[in-house]
Amino acid sequence: MPQIPHHNDKIHKKQAVASPKVKHEHKLINKPETTHNYNNLNNLIEKYIFYLQYEKNVSPKTIENYSLWLNRFSEYIGDINIEKIKSMHALDFRIHLKNTWLSIKTINYHIVAIRSFLKFLLKNDIDCISPDKLELSKIPAREVNYLEDDEVKSVLEMPSKFWKNPLQIARDEAILRFLYWTWLRVTELISLKKSNIKVDSKQFTVIWKWSKIRAIFMTNQAREKLKKYLLSRADDSEFIFISLSKNSFGQTLSRNSIEEIVKRYASLAGIKKRVTPHTLRHSFATTLIKKWADIRAVQTLLGHSSITTTQIYTHIDDKHLQKVHDLLDE
């Protein structure tokens, strides 16, 4: 089952609304006639979403995204018999998406969803085109945005320099250290409950993509900040990281709230480049690679399903090695 990245929040926000305005209409080539029977597209999509939700037990966000992408395909091509869909129709759909100003990466998400859907159909003995006929577009290699060690230190120190409220300081210090030292994704962080963690233990687990269980390890610094924060709390909310504002006190923080917290402290630290929660995750991973950590171990700690995702950090290591080598010429 292909997996969908969660680290790019902007893409998901765009997909949650209606499709953008079309630059110019691309008409489907030889659009098949619509008929109504068991193997029509909408009926099969509905069964596939049910399968993802109740048999594969995937996350609600994945259900939302796959439903969006497959329904876009159905709206474009029509509720036709699955056997009448050919690879050229999928190509037409790709061109249509391109004309709506979607990025190559976002278009690939649609194709991944369609391929996964087709694999499900073939697995259940329903004739359709081969998923292998739908190729993904090549996208440029991703640049890893990370902070140097001194920049990270400055960001982590900002809450105590900016706030006077002890609870605000304790919460934000814990958030920043959990993002950096434990490599939690934002969705994992805001979902944490008090029952998930024993502060005297260095390890806890989270449920991540495709309902897999991932082990998380806390450093002593992260544990101490968490203890201090929880001891400062006087509310009965089950969530660990909560809103402290008057109107929403005790409620779990949103993704946007976490992003704003990180952005604020990076700005206060004088960092000009864009800094997100994922930047902190990238930063610690980069630090480990520079210190010769085994890439397979880094893959496990980050929760990457594929080693190719983790390998983006080896390019950073190559640059580091070049700097070390250049010292020989000085």
Token digits for 140? 């440029």
Closest CA to 107 of 130, 65, 136, 131: 136
Pick from 279, 285, 315, 287: nearest CA to 300: 285
Return the closest-CA partner of residue 188 out of 4, 7, 1. 7
Residue partners of 206: CB distance under 8 A and separation at least 6: 184, 188, 191, 192, 196, 213, 214, 216
Residues 6+ apart with CB under 8 A from 316: 144, 146, 286, 289, 290
Torsion angle defined by CA atoms of residues 75, 80, 86 and 90, in that order, rounded to the nearest 10 degrees: 10
Contact 108, 137 (CB under 8 A): yes
Q: Which are the catalytic amino acids? A: 185, 209, 278, 281, 304, 313
> In sequence order, which residues have a C-beta less than 8 Å from that of residue 299 and are 6 or more positions away?
307, 309, 310
Inter-axis angle of helices 60-77 and 104-123, to 10 degrees? 90
